[in-house]
Structure 1
Amino acid sequence: MIVFGIAGWSGCGKTTLIEKLIPEFTARGISVSVIKHAHHGFDLDRPGKDSFRHREAGASQVLMLSNDRWVLMHELRGAPEPTLEEQLRLLSPCDVVLIEGYKAAAVPKIEVHRPAHGKPPLWTDNPHVVAVATNAGIDCPLPTLALDDADAIAEFILAHSHLRP
């Protein structure tokens, strides 16, 4: 299993890129999972639903399932956020795990950079950025990839990780 990050500032297009990369990998017979790190709270549940009521009552974990999917919600209740390594151990076996966020994680990553956003590049201070996907010409010592070329970005990730279907 390879772990590869997609990093960048909020609003730069990380989620959109991952959304385009997944079918590129699956078309090659490569199974993909995604870990999305959020810096803010989130909730998959809705007030009033049974699973919400169970969590509100104090359950540490609630597993919901149907014929189509299942989800396990775990309440930290003040415990520290699990490490990336701990989260990776929770995933079912797959070929590629794409990570959105985790800018500082010690995994290779592609930075999504849009100069028009006015944010500084991450690659200048982050040794784990191995390439930059951008929509503009930039002066960068790393490989630069066209942000709208998901096929080339997928190929870069596979070549960098030495994974071939």
Structure 2
Amino acid sequence: MGITADFLIKHVRPLDVQAVATIFDRGFETYLRTVLGMSVQEVTALKHAWTTTAGLNPGTQQAQFVTAADQVAQARWTQLYQTSASTIFYLTSAQLATLSHGGQLSGPNRSRVIDFSGDPICIAVTIRRNAAPQLLANVTGINATTDANANIVHLIGPA
């Protein structure tokens, strides 16, 4: 896909049902089970939760997006490591393709802004420890870095 599973878990959530299918159709479930040790029931629950969030309206249900982003941040900080901020981008299937393509265009071990100006990301949420969540609307770029295989592995922040 041009995006590592680890990056997806930390920074991306689907914003339409097709994006859920795109993510889970690309070996993501296998990664969750074999690398993270999740059970079939846990993977099913995760897919259901992501499908539920994907059906929300970013214009009228912002609190639910903030809650979901906060859950990601808290899990990440508890299970991985503390960071100053955690940003979750809610992407459609077309935006997932843009992100993937942008990583491949960057090449290996590079940083670049992935351009979403033609199809802005309608909602992203940054969670900071001990601070109010920040809602980002119409994000037109993501600063990302790639690994040796030109897969996006790290987020530097919105452009």
Shared fold by TM > 0.5?
no
Structure holding more helix per residue: 2
